Amino acid sequence: MNTSEFIKKYATHPNYKAPTGTKINAKSWQTEAPLRMLLNNLDAEVAENPQELVVYGGTGQAARNVESVQKIIANLLELDENHSLLVQSGKPVGIVRSHPQAPRVLIANSNLVPQWATWDHFNKLKENGLMMYGQMTAGSWIYIGSQGILQGTYETFVACGQKYFKGDLRGKLLVSGGLGGMGGAQPLAATMAGATFLGVDVDPTRIQKRLDTKYIDKMTYSYKEARDWALAAKKQGQAISIGLVADIGDTLKNLLTDNIVPDILTDQTSAHDPINGYVPNGLTLDAAIELRSKTPKDYQSRSLKSMARHVGFMLEMQNRGSRTFDYGNNLREFARQGGEARAFDFPGFVPEYIRLLFCEGKGPFRWAALSGDPKDIYTTDQALIEAFPENKHMINWLQEAQKKVAFQGLPCRICWLGMGEREKAGLIFNELVKSGKVKAPLVIGRDHLDCGSVASPNRETEGMRDGTDAVSDWPLLNLMSNASGGATWISFHHGGGVGIGFSQHAGMVVLADGSDRAEECLKRVLFNDPALGIMRHADAGYEKALAMGEKFGVKI
């Protein structure tokens, strides 16, 4: 099949679909893997808006434009093991000489010199077709749908329950805004953790998508109906999820008026982008789209004021006893800019719940079955259950995920694994491919939200013990370590999660194709990657990280 035939079959815009099965279209699995994962990112089952190449997060794209998608495809179909493709903000810009154990694709997205790292400068470049926003896993071709953030969200909610509710979220009401993209994982994560969930989104299509994929149980346009459903479920200790089509600020105001205080309160609206993400209070969705197009400056001003109002209500909920935390979308910062002086009076989720896991080298380990056969994922699930019998938390997660998580696009799975566990899992997967127990290779990746891959002072590195919140040497070292170790493709992005100017982060994906080459690369990459997290936190003075480094032979 030549390039034009391949594009016609798998990538006729906006209809994208990853090839499946054991027959490859590229010259090797090393290039077939990124090819399939790019197309999987853009699959309508996975992506928010394939028409605009947007995968999640409002504007997070997999490629800069349709022409770039087609050129990337053409390059990957022809690329051999002695060359690597360079992708600059979603556009293929060249091929360099490399070697068989080097990354096949090297990606840099949205990176700007610090003085120019603003949404205004970025948007000017984007309008002229010179840049795109890669978010985290959108522009690095390892987004796996809502499941990708589901387990991390579940871990966070469970940690909240353990810290404040004696490990039991039954009969507890959890309220949040934002049900698109990453926020779409919240209802299922909450019910899996045992809570009653009320989620709010102004866009009904986002809630409908969660209904269709069984991530949410009920949907309504009526505040009173949603309120009554939630209170009844809370009283009965029922773990159900409710999606309300409304403005989150208005909903919080109504709850306060009714003296209903959630046990847990957070938010995952697309607040990281005040123009293209967040919808200002008082506007219908259609009116917001029109205003955004005609007068973006006015739109941004209204967004910031709305975020200030939104956070003001969250602060009042906190005052009344709600366990309130920022869930990494930079809502607090933009609320501060909008006039809420006390915006940072509630904590971010990483210092509140996740930091000690990072000290163990733990983070979101994910994998995809390139065969397209869900049975391959179930085989890997069982292999991990047998390999880690002592990890009851992981086993429970995998068993619940099998029952409750619908696959989107290529069958994928995620679970949080730490130092030592990732390398062991990767080698097990490679052996499964080699033995034929799974039908085709597996790709192993992660979110950029990981223990040693990101500098984000309002999220992952908020409140570091030694004050190094904004030091981005660490994600750069992570990138270089994974390139040296032999990851199959690597990426370095700016602005993911919290918006332009507020973060830098690295991603990696490594192939398990059953070969000796893959085994060597897996051993290096799946040691180096979590080791960077341990090094980063040990250097900041966390005793737990120092102890983990000594346990696993991490040179510090």
Task: Give the pLDDT confidence of 427-467 residue by residue, as tens digits.
Answer: 999 999 999 999 999 999 999 999 999 999 999 999 999 99
Partner residues linked to 508 by β-bridges: 490
CA-to-CA dists, residue 211 to 149, 185, 237, angstroms: 17, 12, 22
Antiparallel, parallel or unpaired: β 173-177 and 264-265: parallel
Cα–Cα distance for residue pair 323/162, rounded to 1 Å: 13
Residue 333, pLDDT score: 96
Cα–Cα distance for residue pair 146/215, rounded to 1 Å: 9
Q: What percent of the chain has pLDDT over 90?
A: 93
Partner residues linked to 243 by β-bridges: 199, 219
Task: Name the least confident of 69-78, 139-148, 170-179, 190-199.
Answer: 139-148
Residue 522, pLDDT score: 98
Cα–Cα distance for residue pair 4/369, rounded to 1 Å: 26
pTM of the full structure: 0.90
Cα–Cα distance for residue pair 20/537, rounded to 1 Å: 40
3-state SS, residue 446: strand
pLDDT band, residue 199 (cuts 50/70/90): very high
Residue 148, pLDDT score: 85
Cα–Cα distance for residue pair 193/169, rounded to 1 Å: 7
On whether the CB atoms of residues 35 and 77 are closer than 8 A, the answer is yes
At residue 156's C-alpha, the angle toward residues 276 and 476, to 5°, is 65
Partner residues linked to 446 by β-bridges: 365
Residue 438: closest CA among 383, 375, 367, 518: 375
Neighbours of 290 (CB within 10 A): 13
Cα–Cα distance for residue pair 96/106, rounded to 1 Å: 10
Assess whether 415 carries a catalytic annotation. yes
Task: Name the least confident of 313-322, 398-407, 425-434.
Answer: 398-407
Residue 67, pLDDT score: 98
Residue 214, pLDDT score: 87
CA-to-CA dists, residue 59 to 181, 195, 258, angstroms: 11, 31, 36
Residue 58, pLDDT score: 81
CA-to-CA dists, residue 52 to 15, 18, 126, 167, 512, angstroms: 11, 18, 13, 42, 31
The single residue of 160, 412, 415, 451 carrying the catalytic annotation is 415
User: Which whole number is the average pLDDT over 357-371?
Assistant: 96
**What tokens does 169 get?**
């979220």
**Residue count of the chain:** 556
Is residue 382's pLDDT more than 80? yes
Residue 69: closest CA among 40, 90, 99: 90
Is residue 301's pLDDT more than 80? yes
On whether the CB atoms of residues 508 and 526 are closer than 8 A, the answer is no
Average pLDDT, whole number, for the chain?
96
Is residue 182's pLDDT more than 80? no
User: Which whole number is the average pLDDT over 175-186?
Assistant: 90
Residue 75, pLDDT score: 98
Cα–Cα distance for residue pair 479/303, rounded to 1 Å: 34
Cα–Cα distance for residue pair 331/312, rounded to 1 Å: 11
User: Which whole number is the average pLDDT over 144-151?
Assistant: 87
pLDDT digits (tens, 9 = 90+) for 241-257: 999 999 999 999 999 99
**Which domains, and CATH codes, for the chain?**
147-347 (3.40.50.10730), 358-552 (3.40.1770.10)
Residue 213, pLDDT score: 85
Residue 299: closest CA among 276, 333, 321, 317: 276
Place of tokens 């969930």: 197
The amino acid present at 225, given as its one-letter code, is E
Residue 308: closest CA among 358, 274, 260: 274
pLDDT band, residue 146 (cuts 50/70/90): confident
pLDDT digits (tens, 9 = 90+) for 467-493: 999 999 999 999 999 999 999 999 999
Helices (H), strands (E): how many in the chain?
20, 19
pLDDT digits (tens, 9 = 90+) for 494-543: 999 899 999 999 999 999 999 999 999 999 999 999 999 999 999 999 99
Distance of CA 40 to the CA centre of its chain: 15
